[in-house]
Amino acid sequence: MARPVIAIVGRPNVGKSTIFNRIIGDRLAIVEDKPGVTRDRIYGTGEWNGVAFSVIDTGGIEIDGDDGMLRLIRVQAELAIEEADVIVFMVDAKSGVTNSDDEVAQILFRSGKPVVVAVNKVDNLQRMDDIYEFYSLGFGDPVALSGSHGIGIGDLLDAAVKLLPVKEDQEYDDDVIKVALIGRPNVGKSSLVNAILGEERVIVSEVAGTTRDAIDTPFEKDGQKYVLIDTAGMRKRGKVYETTEKYSVMRSMKAIERADVALIVINGEEGIIEQDKHIAGYAHELGKASVFVVNKWDAVEKDEKTMQNFTTTIRDHFLFMSYAPIVFLSAKTKQRLQKLFPVIDRVAEQHAMRIPTHVLNDIVSDAVAVTPPPTDKGRRLRINYVTQVAVKPPTLLVFVNDPELMHFSYERFLENKIRAAFDFEGTPLRLFTRRKSDQE
């Protein structure tokens, strides 16, 4: 189910990114140290009082052009309005209400979206009186906070979460494979959708389930039921959105959250750019089965090594997703399109695979016997027990004598051994270490 969205908007230098980082906390810290995952984030996830949500930091959106600061602020506000269920309007207690704040307030007021005014840089009690002038913005009680000191974040989240809607997504049977087509603009996603749905032996449902943010198209092929989740709105926007590449990340996130399999579409003519890494990284972090789809392959000049060289390039750029298969095709000519669905079926099956505990422990025991864990200050890691606790993605708990002795490199070694035994093609594999006494 797609999470509701909170967007943080406001003029530059009011502390949007600081508050963003405070809200998402350390949720992304683990994946950030993996090779190839970008750290330039504008989209994160958080949870407060049992409510999970996504957070947009509009401060991370870079707009090309030199039409002035007000244009930049206006575009950021419009992006937030388009995506958000609740908007956190950041202002600065030290500066007071500025003309730029009034500009943003007018845009937000016309939107009709719920708005919480967050007055940042209230670093001490003496500054509390500074918040009252922000009532003039017209959004009710301002919330005082200090991003640098971490004060007031709970009050802000209380106010924002209270305004979030309860989202209801279209429900599908467990045997339906939900496939999201993701990628930056102009890689051919819409052409690929049309090619898939126009192929022979594909039966498209008369009634498509819909959500506010994505278009669902149920269909059946060779007896298997699927739902294509296509990001809505990316083709209907004006120049502002076409020049804002990071906007596509926001759209892609919502599709990824609801999918079983993410098709990461890459333009074969242009090759790989940083934006592709952004989008692929989110699929990885959310634990989705993934397939790299290199589109427009018909337009690429080829020799006998072209595909091999492009494969090497993908592997070099996406070291953190070495498990994801690669399909080369052309949506325009339907060349090699028939190779796509067997791969989707396979990675969906691997994503949902469950390994019996005794078999899993036999593999890990053999791996440890051949390559024992290294010692750390005279102490050695001892693995007592391994069990799979979840699927989609496959998630393993490793019970040990001391989790601090599990070095990243040995964890990677165990993952490689498990993959060698059970494949898990196309899906991330999650390993969590827990002290044996915590097993209860």
Beta strands, E only, 31-156:
43-48, 51-57, 86-92, 115-120, 143-144
- Residue 44 marked in a binding site: no
CA geometry: angle at 77 spanning 76 and 83, to 5°? 90
Tell me 84's DSSP state: -
- Residue 122 marked in a binding site: yes
Return the residue matching tokens 């974040």: 153
- Residue 412 marked in a binding site: no
- Residue 401 marked in a binding site: no
Q: What is the dihedral of CA 107, 112, 116, 117, to 10 degrees?
A: 30
- Residue 251 marked in a binding site: no
Residue 272's Cβ-side half-sphere holds a number of Cα atoms within 13 Å equal to: 21
- Residue 185 marked in a binding site: yes
- Residue 233 marked in a binding site: yes
- Residue 307 marked in a binding site: no
- Residue 373 marked in a binding site: no
Dist. CA 269–CA 252, nearest whole Å: 21
Strand partners, 246: none
Contact residues for 432 (Cβ-Cβ < 8 A; gap 6+) = 395, 396, 397, 398
Contact 119, 156 (CB under 8 A): no
What number of other Cβ atoms are within 10 A of residue 245's Cβ?
Answer: 18
- Residue 61 marked in a binding site: yes
Tokens representing residue 125 in the block: 């009690």
Dist. CA 122–CA 131, nearest whole Å: 8
- Residue 57 marked in a binding site: yes
- Residue 261 marked in a binding site: no
Dist. CA 291–CA 321, nearest whole Å: 10
- Residue 190 marked in a binding site: yes
Dist. CA 390–CA 57, nearest whole Å: 31
Which of helix, strand or coil describes residue 97?
coil
- Residue 11 marked in a binding site: yes
- Residue 26 marked in a binding site: no
- Residue 13 marked in a binding site: yes
Tokens representing residue 356 in the block: 């019996």
Tokens representing residue 78 in the block: 């419009």
- Residue 230 marked in a binding site: yes
- Residue 298 marked in a binding site: yes
- Residue 361 marked in a binding site: no
- What's the length of the chain? 440
Contact 264, 292 (CB under 8 A): yes
Amino acid at position 420, single letter: A
Contact 353, 424 (CB under 8 A): yes
Q: Which residues are annotated as a binding site?
A: 10-17, 57-61, 120-123, 183-190, 230-234, 295-298
Q: Which residues are annotated as a binding site for GTP?
A: 10-17, 57-61, 120-123, 183-190, 230-234, 295-298
